Amino acid sequence: MIQTSKSANSRRDWFGTLKVIIQALALALIIRTFFFQAFSIPSGSMKSTLLIGDHLLVAKYSYGYSRHSFPIDLLPFSGRLFSRMPRRGDVVVFKTPEDNRTDYIKRVIGLPGDEIQVVSGILHINGAAVERTQIEDFIESDTSGSPKQISRYTERLPNGVSYEVLDQAAAGPLDNTPIYRVPEGHFFMMGDNRDRSSDSRIPTGVGYVPFENLIGKAKFVFFSNGDDKPAWQIWNWPFSVRFERTFRGL
């Protein structure tokens, strides 16, 4: 009978554990790169569609793959593989053209060749005003904790996609713009919180977003934590989790 030493067993156990860890990391990398990636919302630029503290899954396969699909630009190539064009109205995560590193989330408003303009707060696409209907106000708390009302509207794009936007006044700096002509291979992005969004209306900021900068399409909110509580503080969940937003589609 062959007896195995304790040190040999220990090495075998260690290598077995290491193998499992490597396999798990490889599987996680494959899922993150080719299928889904989780993102959290740190700002209010997409209110009321997305709120601060929302955690969502983004489908990486929706528009094909670019170098930005891979962690830390692991495979530096240009263009997209298996590319598919986004639809007007999609909620998209992308890398900002300014630094190609910062993740932003906005809604696709303008496609290549479109002319986009905002006149007195009304969005115009190719010279035609987008249908907009006022609905009940959005209520949030100001810095003192008092309720604050913000005008809310339903916008309906020419392809039939509808969504809610917030727009407090028609006299803000981004409520009257020049005509933006979207270049080929680029998209025009806007936040749903029109007075609080840095987007393609600011040429020196986000500007036109190249196709290869798109990360993927936001699919649904899988977790939402309010009250400015970090998600890892699970002892706050019974009070801070917004259960009504869990598994909310986008």
Strands (E), 205-246: 209-210, 214-224
Q: Inform me whether the pLDDT recorded for 1 exceeds 70.
A: no
Q: Of the listed 45, 69, 200, 240, which one is catalytic? A: 45
Is residue 141 annotated as a catalytic residue, yes or no?
Answer: no
Q: Is 241 helix (H, G, I), strand (E, B) or coil?
A: strand
The band of 232, judged by pLDDT with boundaries at 50, 70 and 90, is confident
Indicate the pTM of the whole model.
0.87
- Total tally of structural domains belonging to the chain: 1
135: in domain: yes
Summarize the confidence of residues 111-140 as an average pLDDT: 96
Q: What pLDDT digit, counting tens, does each position of 20-73 carry?
A: 888 888 777 777 778 899 999 999 999 999 999 999 999 999 999 999 888 776
What distance lies between CA 150 and its chain's CA centroid? 22
1: in domain: no
Is residue 45 annotated as a catalytic residue, yes or no?
Answer: yes
The parent domain of residue 69 ranges over: 14-249
6: in domain: no
Domain of 97: which CATH number? 2.10.109.10
5: in domain: no
Q: What pLDDT digit, counting tens, does each position of 94-116 carry?
A: 999 999 999 999 999 999 999 99
212: in domain: yes
Q: Of the listed 47, 60, 95, 106, which one is catalytic? A: 106
192: in domain: yes
Secondary element (H or E) of residue 187:
strand 186-190
219: in domain: yes
Local structure of residue 175 (DSSP, 8 states)? S
What is the token pair recorded at 103?
A: 């993740």
Q: Inform me whether the pLDDT recorded for 187 exceeds 90.
A: yes
193: in domain: yes
